[in-house]
């Protein structure tokens, strides 16, 4: 059953009743909110104002909006300088370019000196659909989570994206925020708890047999899969919006209860959230794990939903993974 | 007309010799590191730490201080030496360069050593960081200047030109950039590896004010910095023509000294050579 404390949208499992939204919109609203609360917040944009929703901030705070042009290495290094001076810069681009292209600059000039630059990677995963493989960033969680000092957050819907953006402005040090382009169900509410580093249990079953640990918008599909399996296998679902630092306590609790895990993410299975969970469990509580995500391949053009299904990251694939892992116990 | 008198110029020349001596001792103790570039920038670092910078060695985080950004982090030993002589830390500590547990990291780290301003080593990023600091400072009406030292070869990196374009476009006149134009890089001479000329014209095309100076003439360099403060329409770059290894004949102009330290016996000879430079700074010796 849905965890009451998660304060999800009413009738959350009724897919047709849910509003849809893109997490980038949550960012756009959140960064304005952060800007109102703290005048040190500035936004640096690399020629993608509208598609990153940076133009909303520009309208609200024109003097705190800085245009960089098509130069993602400069985006990261100018942001390092402006953070070094004392501002809180949010830098926006497609995740394919930032942190895709400017990885070394992020490492040397942001992570190593531990500066509060908030790196906002848009259009991550296959959510950018028709643009094809060049723009479908599927390795960014891996790139960012291996850098010491870096925090990695991947919101599950628009509302959580807004909260994550506001929270990132107040959070010490560098943060990577991952956002999607396609519209996905809005299933959390303004009252749903959100704190960087604290995973949220969304769905629980008495004597759960499998724990699904999900991150990003696919979390809703995990929720539907858990509910759909309720007559067959009892499942719990943890929303691991913060991939680093890992909420070890929350992960350990659901895994100890269930004894088997399925991880769900729109990212390469190598190096992503599933890997982070597996690294922790291998040392502390080894159990069978199945990994939903891109299986060491690049994407292609297509509609986002179509791609999610084709690459076996949809609701049915999650159910299949739950069945497989339950048998491995 | 010079902004400093002859006596001051002589004092600074003598200080530069001391800073070079400490550098040689640091490199010998470390057993690794760069020699030619740091020696070539001794005069400019002396000019900064003993005349140009508005700074407080005892309060390196003072908010109103001028920022000195070192983009080419590999010449950091000469900066450490100058900082030690200026009173940021002891000369003994400077000699712990590159040792385990030392704040004198092989390449500078902002988190470890207050006063170095940025973490650098990978080339081509410092100008963008300086531009970010300058942009933020201008937003808040701050009066301090941002200085950015770069080597010439890092102008082969794309990130650097992105920064140059940004600073020029935004007319960041609170930046004075300095290029150590010593013409050498690891694999040989810059003009053979990947030519940079016409370097001044490139900066002019990016909306920069350009001044060219002899990087070993401290008075001339200080005058150029003063001129840069009077330019309000655009950022200024000073192309400082330097001799790599300056001060030690055997090292001068030899790119093989880019990335290695002197051995103990060599260092003894070099230090003797530096210490007999008296003839060139007579006016100071007569004091």
For residue B280, is pLDDT > 60?
A: no
Min mean pLDDT across A82-91, A191-200, B76-85, B241-250 is at B241-250
Q: Which residues of A touch B139 (CB under 8 A)?
A: 42, 63-64, 87
CA angle A248, A254, A259 (to 5 degrees): 110
Asked if the Cβ–Cβ distance from A113 to B125 is below 8 Å, we say no
Token pair for residue B283? 């006016």
Alpha-carbon distance B43 to B217, whole Å? 8
What is the number of H-type helices and E-type strands within chain B? 12, 7
The confidence band for B272, taking pLDDT boundaries of 50, 70 and 90, is confident
**Average pLDDT over all residues of chain A:** 97
For residue A116, is pLDDT > 80?
A: yes
Residue B273's pLDDT is 83
What is the number of H-type helices and E-type strands within chain A? 11, 14
The confidence band for B33, taking pLDDT boundaries of 50, 70 and 90, is confident
* Mean pLDDT of the region B64-72: 98
* Mean pLDDT of the region A272-299: 98
* Mean pLDDT of the region B189-205: 97
Q: Of B199, B196, B198, which is closest to residue B185 (Cα–Cα)?
A: B196
For residue B284, is pLDDT > 80?
A: no
Element (H, E) at A236: strand A235-239
- The model's pLDDT over A226-241, given as tens digits with 9 standing for 90+, comes to 999 999 999 999 999 9
Percent of chain B with pLDDT over 90: 83
Nearest CB to B132; choose among A63, A69, A78: A78
CA angle A164, A168, A173 (to 5 degrees): 150
Q: Which residues of B touch A83 (CB under 8 A)?
A: 132
CA atoms within 13 A on the CB side of A11: 6
Percent of chain A with pLDDT over 90: 100
Residue B283's pLDDT is 43
Q: Which residues of B touch A77 (CB under 8 A)?
A: 125, 128-129, 132, 159, 163
Min mean pLDDT across A58-67, A161-170, A244-253, B263-272 is at B263-272
Asked if the Cβ–Cβ distance from B135 to A78 is below 8 Å, we say yes
Backbone angles phi, psi at A305, to 5 degrees: -60, -40
Asked if the Cβ–Cβ distance from A81 to B130 is below 8 Å, we say yes
CATH dotted code for B6-285: 3.40.50.970
* Mean pLDDT of the region B13-18: 95
Q: Could you tell me which chain A residue has the CA closest to the CA of B63?
A: A85
Give A167 to chain B, closest Cα distance, Å.
22
Q: Are A299 and A126 in contact (CB under 8 A)?
A: yes
Asked if the Cβ–Cβ distance from A73 to B158 is below 8 Å, we say yes
Q: Of A107, A140, A111, which is closest to residue A271 (Cα–Cα)?
A: A140
**In chain A, what are the domains?**
4-18+192-327 (3.40.50.920), 21-185 (3.40.50.970)
For residue B286, is pLDDT > 70?
A: no
What is the residue whose two structure tokens read 């933020």?
B136
- Beta-carbon contacts of B201 under 8 Å, excluding residues fewer than 6 positions away, are none
Alpha-carbon distance A41 to A133, whole Å? 33
Give B65 to chain A, closest Cα distance, Å.
11
For residue B262, is pLDDT > 80?
A: yes
CA angle B125, B156, B168 (to 5 degrees): 60
- Calculate the alpha carbon distances from B10 to B5, B279, B281, B287 in Å: 9, 12, 6, 10
Alpha-carbon distance B174 to A65, whole Å? 20
Q: Which residues of B touch A116 (CB under 8 A)?
A: none
Residue B276's pLDDT is 62
Residue B253's pLDDT is 84
Residue B274's pLDDT is 83
B129 touches chain A (CB under 8 A): yes
Nearest CB to B129; choose among A66, A77, A87: A77
Nearest CB to B137; choose among A63, A78, A85: A85
CA atoms within 13 A on the CB side of A203: 28
For residue B279, is pLDDT > 50?
A: no
Alpha-carbon distance A237 to A230, whole Å? 12
For residue B238, is pLDDT > 70?
A: yes
| Domain parsing of chain B, residue ranges | 6-285
CA atoms within 13 A on the CB side of B162: 24
Q: Which residues of A touch B122 (CB under 8 A)?
A: 104-105, 108
- The model's pLDDT over B125-139, given as tens digits with 9 standing for 90+, comes to 999 999 999 999 999
Residue B257's pLDDT is 86
The yes-or-no answer on residue A209 being catalytic is no
What crossing angle do the helices spanning B264-275 and B6-30 adopt, rounded to 10°?
170
* Mean pLDDT of the region A24-41: 98
* Mean pLDDT of the region B222-230: 98
Q: Model pTM?
A: 0.95
Chain A positions touching chain B (beta carbons under 8 Å): 42, 63-64, 66, 68-69, 71, 73-74, 77-87, 89, 104-105, 108-109, 112-114
Give A226 to chain B, closest Cα distance, Å.
46
Residue A305's pLDDT is 96
């Amino acid at each position: 059953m849905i965890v009451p404390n998660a304060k999800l949208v009413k009738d959350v499992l009724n897919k047709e009743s849910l509003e849809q939204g893109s997490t980038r919109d949550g960012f756009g609203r959140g960064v304005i909110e952060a800007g109102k609360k703290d005048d040190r917040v500035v936004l640096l944009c690399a020629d993608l104002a509208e598609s990153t929703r940076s133009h909303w901030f520009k309208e609200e705070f024109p003097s705190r909006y800085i245009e960089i042009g098509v130069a993602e290495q400069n985006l990261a290094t100018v942001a390092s300088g402006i953070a070094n001076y004392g501002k809180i810069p949010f830098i926006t681009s497609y995740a394919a370019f930032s942190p895709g292209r400017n990885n070394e600059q992020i490492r040397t000039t942001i992570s190593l000196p531990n500066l509060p630059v908030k790196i906002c990677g848009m259009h991550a995963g296959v959510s950018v659909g028709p643009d094809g493989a060049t723009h479908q960033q599927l390795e960014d969680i891996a790139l960012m989570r291996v850098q010491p000092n870096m925090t990695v957050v991947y919101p599950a819907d628009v509302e959580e994206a807004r909260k994550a953006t506001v929270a990132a402005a107040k959070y010490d040090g560098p943060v990577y925020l991952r956002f999607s382009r396609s519209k996905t169900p809005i299933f959390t509410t303004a009252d749903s708890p959100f704190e960087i580093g604290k995973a949220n249990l969304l769905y629980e079953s008495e004597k759960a047999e499998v724990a699904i640990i999900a991150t990003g918008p696919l979390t809703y599909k995990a929720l539907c899969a858990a509910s759909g399996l309720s007559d067959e296998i009892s499942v719990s679902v943890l929303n691991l919006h913060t991939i680093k630092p890992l909420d070890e306590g929350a992960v350990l609790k659901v895994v100890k209860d269930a004894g088997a895990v399925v991880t769900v993410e729109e990212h390469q299975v190598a190096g992503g959230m599933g890997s982070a969970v597996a690294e922790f469990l291998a040392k502390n509580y080894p159990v069978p794990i199945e990994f939903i995500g891109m299986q060491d391949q690049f994407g292609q053009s297509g509609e986002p939903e179509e791609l999610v299904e084709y690459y076996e990251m949809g609701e049915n694939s999650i159910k299949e993974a739950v069945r497989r892992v339950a048998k491995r116990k | 007309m010079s902004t400093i008198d002859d006596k001051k110029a002589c004092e600074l020349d003598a200080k530069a010799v001391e800073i070079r001596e400490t550098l040689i001792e640091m490199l010998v103790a470390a057993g690794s590191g760069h020699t030619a570039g740091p020696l070539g920038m001794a005069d400019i670092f002396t000019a900064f730490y003993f005349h140009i910078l508005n700074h407080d060695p005892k309060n390196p985080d003072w908010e109103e201080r001028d920022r000195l950004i070192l983009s080419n982090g590999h010449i950091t030993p000469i900066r450490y030496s100058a900082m030690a002589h200026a009173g940021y830390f002891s000369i003994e500590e400077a000699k712990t360069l590159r040792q385990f547990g030392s704040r004198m990291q092989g390449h500078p780290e902002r988190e470890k050593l207050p006063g170095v301003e940025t973490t650098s080593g990978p080339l081509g990023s410092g100008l963008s960081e300086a531009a970010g600091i300058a942009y933020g400072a201008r937003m808040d009406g701050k009066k301090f200047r941002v200085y950015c030292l770069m080597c010439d070869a890092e102008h082969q990196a794309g990130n650097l030109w992105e920064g140059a374009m940004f600073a020029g476009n935004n007319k960041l006149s609170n930046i004075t950039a300095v290029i150590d134009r010593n013409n050498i890089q690891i694999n040989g001479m810059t003009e053979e590896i990947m030519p940079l000329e016409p370097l001044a014209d490139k900066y002019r095309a990016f909306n920069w004010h350009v001044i060219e100076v002899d990087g070993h003439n401290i008075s001339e360099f200080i005058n150029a910095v003063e001129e840069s403060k009077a330019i309000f329409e655009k950022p200024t770059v000073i192309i400082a023509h330097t001799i790599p290894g300056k001060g030690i004949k055997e090292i001068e102009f030899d790119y093989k000294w880019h990335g290695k330290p002197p051995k103990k016996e060599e260092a003894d000879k070099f230090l003797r050579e530096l210490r007999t430079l008296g003839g060139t700074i007579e006016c100071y010796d007569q004091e």
